[in-house]
Chains A and B, each alone.
Chain A
Amino acid sequence: MKKAIAFSLMTLLVVSFVTIGAVAQDSGSAIETDEDALFGSEEDMFSDPIIEDVEDAEDAGTTSGTPGTSLLVSEAVEIGGRYSFQVQTSAGWDDPTAVFTDPFSSDSLSMSTSLSTRLFFDARPDENFRVFGKMTASYPFETNDAAGRELQDVFHVEELFSDFNWNDKVFFRGGKQTLNWGVGYFYSPADLLNIAEIDPEDPEAELEGPVALRANIPLGVDNLYFYALPTAGDEPFDIGLAAKGEIVVGPGEIGAGVIYQRDVSPAGMVTVSTSFGDFDLFGEGVLSYGSNRTFVVETQTPPGLETEDRNEEFFFNATTGFRWSDAVGDTSSTVSVVAQYLYNGEGYSDPSIIADNPAGVGVLLFGGDLSTSDLRNTGKHYTATNAGWSDLFGSEINASVLWIQNYSDMSAMVTPSLSRTIVDKVNLTLSVPMMFGEEGDEFAPFGDSLSLRMSLSLGGGSF
């Protein structure tokens, strides 16, 4: 009965997705487009001149202070943020064909609510001093030991830093801050400083950065950056050091950086980004001495697996990709494609060592010898592609397909989705995540499966 009600609800919302649209309001235009009114007529020789006198143009301004510096100062502390409230329902089938043969008998049915807010403050008492902070609060507003939900999952400081400079030549940012080094979209091995990694399923999400002091020296259009990275250690040598340079070369930009920190594998990276016609191209290469990952190897003693660190060998990771977008014919619709390949030098040539030994991996995880991050991107070769089409066939529906492929175990995730704004501040997204692969593979831990997912965003937005 519950499943029937849930299915009916989903059907109702799907129908509304297709039929309900924003109601156009023709309230009349305030923008004059009549050419006679704008340019006068041949007989109308004495109307307003097209060109203002130079004095008039200068007087027209109300800018106070030097252009550019007034934006760095604010008398009031600015406070703003973003609010998000989403309800998501999902129905899953272990056998993807069953969605057609027996749509009322899904193997799983779930519903979840997501409620969160992000608040920031921005204080600029003078042009050489600024303090910025950004915090989030997420529902449920309580910790839960059993579910592993800690206080930092409820309330979290994302950024807290100050900006100051020396003689307008060296610009410092000190505190907790996002530090993006990479240029990749779905994967960014060159992003060596941020604490969090890009999630290929949400590649534009903000990444959490470390506590650091950054010094930026602009050299014309090029940049030099130096970083000091305090760690949990209590000795002076525990501070990590990093440097990065960026130079603009023709229609492209090249970046290179190195990082050294005690007890962390030293690494160097190179990034390239450029444009070629309508294509934006990007690439990264990273060479590290040792890996920060813990590896799983087979052993003769129970549970058949053990872990090892590999700190005395070189690892090379690289990625390349492109972005492209264009209008669909002579319409306002646009199509866009982002595609990226990742060579993961820290991956397993044969990741079946993990897929075929779930019990052994579980023991290592439970014992703390292995972390979940060590089990991410276990393959050597990946691609990720997202193709989007806005205003599909002139409608207000946006369509996209996300495809992530692991070529080491040949598992894949394909997620087609449709989204549209039902009414102002209410967005509906329908998606069909499909997992392909053998049981235990990275993207198909339970073998092939298919889900219908519906997400309703209610009243979210920035303020």
Chain B
Amino acid sequence: MMNYLRRSPAMTGILLLALTAISSGAAFAVDVSDGPQILERIDEIRRFSGDDFASVLTLISEDPDEGVEKQVVQQFRRDDDEMFLMLIQEPTTMLGQGYLRVEDNLWFYDPESRNFNRTSMKEQFSGSDARNSDFGASSYAEDYEVTAIAEAQLGRYDVYILDLKARHNEVTYPTERVWVTRDLYLPLKVEDYSETGRLMRTTLIPNYARAGDTYVATSIILNDELIPGKRTRITLTDISVAPLSDSIFTKSYVERVNR
């Protein structure tokens, strides 16, 4: 821990702030006016500023009708430029498909037609319970405002429960409820609601890894609340924060890598 603190002054500040808040108890009780700062912290701690990020995602999807399906996806991220690339490696039926995001543009590459088709961050990711927006940089502060906040306990963790309302209609879900740790501001649980207030999806994030100065969820469980028993577990491995070539975030690279 001390090694890490020496390497990360920003994190030291956050941790000291969190420790002070914990020791002061009610003196630092939060209210809705603290919402923007908390959302910024959530984004900051999960955003790879100055670093690139790569990992391999394994998605295990359970569907009462379709059974169990496994997908393996190579992920590259450059959060500073709002870029990501997702390349599907398994199953073979989907091998070669890819999602390339460059700022406000998201393309889906179909190796059959060799076409880059525009798609939306709201769309389902490759038939799983994940959405394309789940794989970009965290942007809570930009997308949501806090309408209510409460202190609570989730398992053995002290958390804030944040009720969020979308600032614009570009987001996947118009309202969310987020359980975020009080010390590091890491989301542990997220409930996504529709416009009518129906619970659509519950996300559980039981594990994180620290990569550089940033925390990344290494285990994510997505429960489809509309279809009982339909869920997806995403596991991240092969995590790297090594610099990536600029050419990776190009259509040319997607075409070269895919079949």
Contact = CB atoms under 8 A, between A and B. Distances in A.
Interface residues of A, number: 82
Interface in A421-463: 461-463
Contact of A57 (B113, B153, B239, B242): B239
Nearest to A68: B248
A205 interface: yes
Given A57-B239, A60-B237, A253-B105, A67 B92 contact: no
Contact of A68 (B154, B245, B259): B245
Contact of B155 (A41, A56, A57, A250): A41
A72 B257 CA distance: 6
A331 B204 CA distance: 21
Interface in B140-199: 153-157, 169-170, 181, 184, 186, 188-189, 194, 196, 198
B245 A39 contact: no
Contacts of B218: 52, 57, 60
Given A40-B155, A51-B208, A78-B259, A223 B240 contact: no
Given A35-B189, A39-B154, A221-B102, A216 B252 contact: yes
A223 B206 contact: no
A390 B157 CA distance: 41
A38 B102 CA distance: 35
A282 B118 CA distance: 10
A40 B207 CA distance: 12
Given A51-B210, A56-B209, A168-B247, A275 B224 contact: no
Contact of B122 (A57, A168, A278): A278
Contacts, number: 208
B156 A40 contact: yes
Chain A binding surface, main DSSP class: loop
Interface string B201-229: 00010111111000110100101101101
Closest 6 CB pairs of A and B: A39-B155, A57-B209, A251-B104, A67-B54, A61-B238, A38-B206
Interface of A: 22, 24-27, 29-33, 35-36, 38-45, 47, 50-54, 56-58, 60-63, 66-69, 71-72, 78, 80, 120, 122, 130, 132, 163, 168, 171, 173, 178, 180, 204-207, 216, 218, 220-221, 223, 248, 250-253, 273-275, 277-278, 280, 282, 323, 325, 329-332, 396, 461-463
12 contacts: A29-B231, A30-B68, A35-B189, A36-B155, A45-B156, A52-B218, A61-B56, A206-B113, A248-B102, A273-B118, A332-B227, A462-B92
